[in-house]
Amino acid sequence: MQMRSVYLASGLLWLVLTVLTGLSFASRAVSEAQTEFTRISQQLFENIGQKLQVNEAVLDSYATFTGLGMKNGGQEERQFVRQFLQRYPQIIAVMRIERVPLASRDSFLKEARARHGMMYTIHGLDKDGKGAAGSVALSEEGFPVTFIEPSNRISSRWLGADIATNDFLRDTLLDAIESGRSAASRSFDWADGRAAYLMVRPSDDLSTYVSAGGMPWHFVGMMVRTGSLSSQVGDLPPGMAVRLWHKRFSPSAPQGWFVNVAEPPSGWLESRIFPRLERVRQVGSEAQPLILSVSWQLGWKQIGLFEWGMSAALSLVTMVLLWLGCESYRRYLSSRVEREARLFYLANHDRLTGLANRGLFYDRLQHAISRLNRSGKRLAVLFLDLDRFKPVNDTYGHVVGDRILQMIATRMKQALRSEDTVARLGGDEFVVLLEDIESYREVDRVVARLKGSIEEIFEVEEHRIRVGVSIGVAYYPEDGVLIEELLSVADRKMYGDKREPEAVC
């Protein structure tokens, strides 16, 4: 029972140590993941922020170029724009936008058709901003595109498009007018199907129209490929999510998303054991107010082979050490029990014959008397004394005499019941305790059996030796109720049974 408790405690200790070791390595992996998350998120903030700054700088350069009085759509402008498009592949198209009041629309169309041909017309944009939508009603004051590069079949759909006819593009234009600087729309599908967003800003000198209390007449725009921002994300660790959205929209509104690398679903246990890392920050200026969110739900995948291997190895080593400790303790307990049993045996048994000694006999007799007092039965005490044993020692030596005593002890135990007690008081004196006896005749048979067994010839070292025995019997409670009384009566009766010893053969 004690060892079972030790093994159980060791098992629990092993389990606790294994869990603590696993948590330690998991904590190490989580710490490394946090460092990696900080590095990646910071790099994303910087890369996307730099990309946005470049886009804003390009548009500012184009606005400065058009502010120099360059002819709208002239060869120098097209050359200048083509260099931009070649150098900055994220730019899909560059355009000029004019403010055209309703009263000036006819004169504007006449001038525009002279530059672009008779097919040029002011038309509306559909609600998705993909291209022409003739059914859209034009506003009293339009903002048509008067120049766009590259001048291919796809971008030509925007030539003459009134961006004020599209809700989100009109809001972008109003932001640019109000702030006097660049403004960015939400992401939408460009005419060729690629996701893009429009950046627009006044190209007029700010002081010119502010002092006049009006609004600018000329604007420049730039269509930027949204995928250029997605490319800045690169390869992410498994489970990391990145979302970039327009500040005007909520993070959960898909129409405001520029980049959306979704976070894979995590398990119930992972989300409660492992932390979720997240950083949210605006990466663009107010011209491109984009919010970047980087999140990472850590889980089992962050614990690598090294951590798993070390945890398993330390768990195995801990198990072996605890098992060795338990086995050592078990051997210690076993040796202590054996030692105590050995000491008890030596303290209560005769060293020569292995029979009970005087102390053990007295103890068993006292217990037998106490038990018989409750049951009302009897017991008998036999006192045995060997006849002519001293001549055996004198003639053959003490070695032979000791051997005879050992053989007598063996014969006595064989002649008695297993529940009877045989003890050696010392020298050649023995006592026997018979419990729960039914009659005197039963005791007489035991006495006869003992005498017959002891008086048989002993063969020791080619010697044939015979000894006699005298036996006295005392009964409880007839002959006494105390141990000393019973032994005294039995001793006295034994002397009455003495007879001449038989000769030594």
* Ranges of each domain in the chain: 1-348, 351-496
Largest CA distance in the chain: 165
Q: Which fold has domain 1-348?
A: Beta-Lactamase (3.30.450)
**pLDDT tens-digit readout, 154-194:** 888 888 889 888 889 999 999 998 888 899 999 998 888 88
| Bridge pairing between strands 91-98 and 218-225 | antiparallel
Supply the pTM of this predicted model: 0.64
Q: Is the pLDDT of residue 197 over 90?
A: yes
Q: What is the DSSP string of 74-137?
A: -HHHHHHHHHHHHH-TTEEEEEEEE-EEGGGHHHHHHHHHHHH-TT---B-B-TTSSSB-TTSP
CA distance linking residue 71 with residue 74, whole number of Å: 5
Q: Per residue in 425-446, pLDDT tens?
A: 988 999 999 998 888 899 999 9
Q: How far is CA 44 from the centre of its chain?
A: 31
Cα–Cα dist 283/266, whole Å? 28
Strand 183-184 versus strand 421-426 pairing type: unpaired
Mean pLDDT of 276-297: 91
* pLDDT for the residue 207: 54
Residue-wise pLDDT for 201-254, tens only, equals: 998 765 555 544 567 889 999 999 999 988 888 888 888 999 999 998 999 899
For residue 353, give the 3-state DSSP assignment.
Answer: coil
Q: Which of the four pLDDT bands, split at 50, 70 and 90, describes residue 70?
A: low
d(Cα 295, Cα 273) in Å, to the nearest integer?
Answer: 16
Looking at the chain, the whole-number percentage of residues with pLDDT higher than 70 is: 92
Q: How far apart are the first and last CA of the chain?
A: 57
**Whether pLDDT at 134 is above 70:** no
* Higher-scoring residue by pLDDT: 276, 23: 276
pLDDT at 211: 46
Note the residue count of the chain. Answer: 505
CATH no. of 351-496: 3.30.70.270
406 by Cβ neighbours in 10 Å (0-12 / 13-18 / 19+) ranks as: middle
The C-alpha atoms of residue 383 and residue 425 are separated, in whole angstroms, by 10
- State how far the Cα of 463 lies from the Cα of 405, in Å rounded to an integer: 15
Q: State mean pLDDT over 311-335.
A: 90
Same fold, 1-348 and 351-496: no
Q: What is the mean pLDDT of the chain?
A: 86
pLDDT value of position 290: 93
pLDDT exceeds 70 at position 135: no
What percentage of the chain exceeds 90 in pLDDT?
40
* Chain segment 344-401, per-residue pLDDT in tens: 888 899 999 999 999 999 999 999 888 886 666 789 999 999 998 888 888 888 899 9
DSSP state at residue 46: H
What are φ and ψ of residue 137, in 5° steps?
-70, 135
